Amino acid sequence: MSGDTKRSAADLGLPSRIQLIEVGPRDGFQMEDRFIPTELKVETIESLATAGLREIEAVSFVHPRVIPQMRDADDVMAKLSRTNDTIYWALVPNLRGAERALAAQVDGIHQVICCTETYNRKNVGLSIDESLAQLGEVVELARAEAGGRRDVVTAVTMAATFGCPFEGQVDDDRLVALALRLADSGVMQLGLADSAGLGHPELVRRVTAKIRHAVPQVSLRMHLHDTRGLGIANAMAALGEGVTRFDTSLGGLGGCPIMRGASGNIPTEDFNNLCLEMGLETGVSTEGVVAASTRIQSFLERPLESKILRSGTRQQLYAANR
Amino acid sequence: MSGDTKRSAADLGLPSRIQLIEVGPRDGFQMEDRFIPTELKVETIESLATAGLREIEAVSFVHPRVIPQMRDADDVMAKLSRTNDTIYWALVPNLRGAERALAAQVDGIHQVICCTETYNRKNVGLSIDESLAQLGEVVELARAEAGGRRDVVTAVTMAATFGCPFEGQVDDDRLVALALRLADSGVMQLGLADSAGLGHPELVRRVTAKIRHAVPQVSLRMHLHDTRGLGIANAMAALGEGVTRFDTSLGGLGGCPIMRGASGNIPTEDFNNLCLEMGLETGVSTEGVVAASTRIQSFLERPLESKILRSGTRQQLYAANR
């Protein structure tokens, strides 16, 4: 008596291959008060790569006074074994950060722009126009590096696409206009972020569809915080619109340094497990991610948000009741 | 700059009116080790009714040795103010329980049958055929009561529709066959339960569609545990299939007495908040539910699962950042 719980992705009208981008070592670790030693950062990143994650946002190159937890970014990058084919991303806030990131041999340069003036000023002290000019310079720098020596991928994430805690929800037309300007900058990937977890599935579906239609030339990447418990429902809505790239975080770590009340990202192990059960390929081992989360949970001495971390997978739940 | 976050339900192809059935006082309280005093039970149920919940599963009439927390079911029902138009449900395991429930003036009689023989035997010590016969007798009893004096609504929930921890996923055809037999018994409402939280959105979508098609004459009621963090995503899948009735639990309380690893229900405040933001009417005040959850959280002295309880609503997140 074991019914068909999986279907082929084509049957479901969903993409068949999902790319998870692990952002816990950056978005998650940066929110922790307790300094995570460089060795533990490296060990975690490498165990995530071993679990099958082929894109990992490993560090950010920000000023150590702003985000002290990332003060060892150079060291982390230097110590990472680069024998596997994992793409290591860095978040950078400006040209100086991008130069440091490229010197540290990152594979991907990720920038953020906020969808409202208030949030952008709080985040980087610039207007949206000023940020757009700066983003373009960084993309150019990465492109020059790529031309000279090796591939460097670029991404820009639109923070607060699905709700700004300072100004409310931005009109769809303005979001689309910003996406078009970003696509014109030459950036290869565009992130749509629910930075505060204010979105809901119908909002995500509608806005994602409009932006995807407006900028078909860039690859979309969803970044969905789970503040109100809607992270996975929102991801399902984006999946339904054909998005294949998702930021997730081991254990559900993460938050937002300048926004009250925001909580972590979609837990990598939870979303990976869901994808696998629905028959969508990720190449990632849920058990491998759980092992990394367990190690970090034990270091942080508090329970992480991931439900799979607490309950186990479907197979483990079956086994516990046999 | 405040974009359109709501749409009319018709635009979305979703039902416009959602009926929440609050099951925390039964499914939630029964799982707590600490005895919740009768007065606090009554106070909680009444504050949920005040918050706008028009259907509440208030108690179960089971043997006190099996579920000690429900030993005061008669008292709870006797003390409830019945001035509002709320439907108070009771869960009953057998004819004896149904007689007690009717004597206590409940408005709805809810029974459970498990979709696998193993689970059903563990739950009530009967085969599925034996349970079906007994369920029919209880439905007849409720109907006779209704004919004589007042309306009594009846529901049967199919436990483990979306995954049995003992036998795995039941074949769709067998689930549909069981639904047909239950509909033949004359029961008015049919619950589809993910008792252990083993389902995922595509499984829920597929099985719900098949059962809805097979028994259009009964109203479906979803009961989705959040063990693996998929409760709300699964509810969205059921909404997409036109289901309008959802069991939820204040704070996300709940579990399963005979299954290891199962965790609570979809939190009422989280799901209600989501429905309202998507423009679906529920008649329920999120703040009213949060007040009831806060009171119980403080009595239980542990954080409950609801995310809205922790983070606040969208409006509160905005306010905190102004």
Segment A45-76, tens digit of pLDDT = 999 999 999 999 999 999 999 999 999 999 99
Give contacts of A163 with chain B, Cβ < 8 Å.
5, 314
Beta bridge partners of A112: A157
User: Could B259 and A318 be called an inter-chain contact, meaning their C-beta atoms sit closer than 8 Å?
Assistant: no
pLDDT of residue A9: 56
Task: Output the pLDDT for position B3.
Answer: 52
pLDDT reading at A319 higher than 90? no
Q: Which residues contact A232 (CB under 8 A, 6 or more apart)?
A: A226, A266, A270, A271, A274, B229, B230, B232, B233
**A247 vs A239: CA distance, rounded Å:** 13
CB-CB contact of B277 with B54 (8 Å): no
In this structure, which amino acid lies at residue A195?
A: S
| A contacts of B158 (beta carbons < 8 Å) | none
> B318, A168: Cβ pair inside 8 Å?
yes
Report percent pLDDT > 70 for chain A: 93
- CB atoms A308 and B198 under 8 Å: no
Partner-chain contact A278 B230, CB within 8 Å: no
How distant is the Cα of A244 from the closest Cα of chain B, in angstroms? 17
How many Cα atoms are found within 13 Å in the side-chain-facing hemisphere of B278?
A: 31
pLDDT in tens, A147-202: 656 789 999 999 999 999 899 999 999 999 999 999 999 999 999 999 989 999 99
Mutate to test the interface with A, among B1, B115, B302 (most CBs of A within 10 A): B1
Spatial CA neighbour of B138 closest among B153, B148, B151, B127 = B153
Please report which confidence band the pLDDT of residue A83 belongs to, taking 50, 70 and 90 as the band edges.
Answer: confident
Q: How far is CA B80 from CA A22, A232, B48, B99, B151, in A?
A: 51, 38, 12, 19, 18
pTM for the predicted model, two decimal places: 0.92
- CA–CA gap between residue A227 and residue A198 (Å, rounded): 7
Closest by CA position to B198, among listed B233, B250, B161: B161
Residues of A in contact with B270 (CB under 8 A): 228-230
Tell me the domains of chain A and their CATH numbers: 15-320 (3.20.20.70)
Q: What is the DSSP string of B148-169?
A: HTS--EEEEEEETTT-BTTTBP
Q: Residue A20: enclosing H or E segment and its boundaries?
A: strand A19-22
Q: Is A138 left (phi over 0), alpha (psi -120 to 50) or beta?
A: alpha
Catalytic residues of A: 256
Subunit contact A317:B227, Cβ cutoff 8 A: yes
Chain A's closest residue to B261, CA to CA, is A311
Strand A87-91, strand A219-224: pairing? unpaired
3-state secondary structure of B291: helix
Can you tell me the distance from the alpha carbon of B194 to that of B237, in angstroms, rounded to the nearest whole number?
Answer: 13
DSSP A26: I
At residue A2 the predicted structure's pLDDT band, cuts being 50, 70 and 90, is very low
- B21 beta partners: B55, B247
How many cross-chain Cβ pairs, A to B, lie less than 8 Å apart? 178
Is residue A49 a contact partner of residue A85, using CB atoms and an 8 Å limit? no
pLDDT of residue B7: 55
Pick from B1, B116, B206: CB nearest A170: B1
